[in-house]
Amino acid sequence: MSQTIVRLARRTDVASICELCKDEHWNYSVRMIERLLAYEPKGCFLAEVNGEFAGQVFSINYGKIGWIGVLIVNENYRRRGVGTLLMKHSIRYLLGLGVETIRLEAVPEIANLYRRIGFVDEFHSIRFLGTSRRQELLSGLSIERMSVKEMPRIADFDREYFGGDRMRVLKRLYQASPELCFYSQEDSQILGYIISYEMETGYRIGPWICKPHGVRFPVIARELLLTCMNSIEVGTKIYVGVPETSNTAIRILHNLGFTMTAKCIRMRFGKRLQEKPKAVLSISGPESG
Ligand SMILES: CC(C)(COP(=O)(O)OP(=O)(O)OC[C@H]1O[C@@H](n2cnc3c(N)ncnc32)[C@H](O)[C@@H]1OP(=O)(O)O)[C@@H](O)C(=O)NCCC(=O)NCCS
């Protein structure tokens, strides 16, 4: 009889986790997995079947909301309840911390797994792929490079639109590539910000968030994106995950030649959030929100 256990993931598991991601052609680098472990060391779970590594899941607690991602079960152990078991561990962990809403982005074929354990569909989330190239900035807006001292202000701004406190995640993303983090402000009020970071192949854009106010909203959004892309080597692959609620991001990306590669389903467990979805032009990642 086989025995399945779930335990906390450790740094020594990073190579196996990356291997499993690679088997699925998921674009996670060693640094990204190490960062996930660092964000939430007690929320990263591994399943073992008869002592063999069988799968993993990551969760992040942001206060009242939490995110779950990177759920993968090794092909040899699928359809035996291991994925469900890992999910239940993550959910229990987040609820135990006082999280009231858990979010994830589901591959459509797998959404039933999540529905069976209580998740409901919210909206679609679209994956875009493009290539960096030099673009002229037209608006004359001031886009500034972030520095550590702005992080608390950026995190406050982010909380208003994201719904939770992402300071520790934003800080580590900033530390990973400070040259790819920008913001715009007026009269000391943040109007928007953007972060990009390296993946196994190429760079991911996100979070990319702007205050959805006035006619300048799409201009600021576009200039932030262009400034960020202009700082990445020409010809590099750029990945962006956009909630379908953001027409502005979709329009900007289409105009820059990005193409849609996949559609996921944003799902929620627990309380519905009161949010301002228009502001969120891209998520930071399907595992981190
Ligand atoms: C998704 C995944 C983690 C599921 O792991 P698992 O251990 O096989 O899941 P479970 O055995 O707990 O499945 C529970 C239910 O989920 C649904 N489900 C799981 N895998 C499915 C699949 N490939 N297609 C359709 N439904 C699926 C089924 O309803 C299943 O119940 P059933 O076996 O009684 O029909 C695994 O298939 C995997 O690693 N896939 C590749 C990575 C991936 O897509 N991850 C999810 C991203 S959102």
> Per residue in 76-103, pLDDT tens?
999 999 999 999 999 999 999 999 999 9
**Which numbered atom of ligand 1 lies nearest the CA of 78?**
8
**Which numbered atom of ligand 1 lies nearest the CA of 85?**
12
pLDDT exceeds cutoff 80 at 138: no
Q: Are strands 65-73 and 101-106 parallel, antiparallel or unpaired?
A: parallel
Cα–Cα distance between 180 and 227 in angstroms, integer?
Answer: 9
What's the rounded mean pLDDT across residues 154-180? 96
| pLDDT of the residue at 254 | 98
Mean predicted lDDT score pLDDT of the chain: 96
Q: Exposed e or buried b for every residue in 32-55, given b needs 16+ CB within 10 A?
A: bbebbbebbeebbbbbbbeeebbb
What's the rounded mean pLDDT across residues 39-46? 97
> Per residue in 215-232, pLDDT tens?
889 999 999 999 999 999
Cα 277 from chain centroid (whole Å):
15
C-beta of 72 in contact with ligand 1 (< 6 A): yes
Domains and CATH numbers, the chain: 4-99 (3.40.630.30), 128-282 (3.40.630.90)
Q: Are 283 and 289 in contact (CB under 8 A)?
A: yes
Cα 28 from chain centroid (whole Å):
12
pLDDT exceeds cutoff 80 at 113: yes
| pLDDT of the residue at 13 | 98
What phi and psi values does residue 7 have, to the nearest 5 degrees? -135, 170
What's the rounded mean pLDDT across residues 184-208? 96
C-beta of 262 in contact with ligand 1 (< 6 A): no
What's the rounded mean pLDDT across residues 104-108? 98
| pLDDT of the residue at 274 | 85
C-beta of 82 in contact with ligand 1 (< 6 A): yes
Amino acid sitting at position 38: A
pLDDT band at 198 (very low <50, low <70, confident <90, very high): very high
C-beta of 108 in contact with ligand 1 (< 6 A): no
pLDDT exceeds cutoff 90 at 141: no
| pLDDT of the residue at 60 | 98
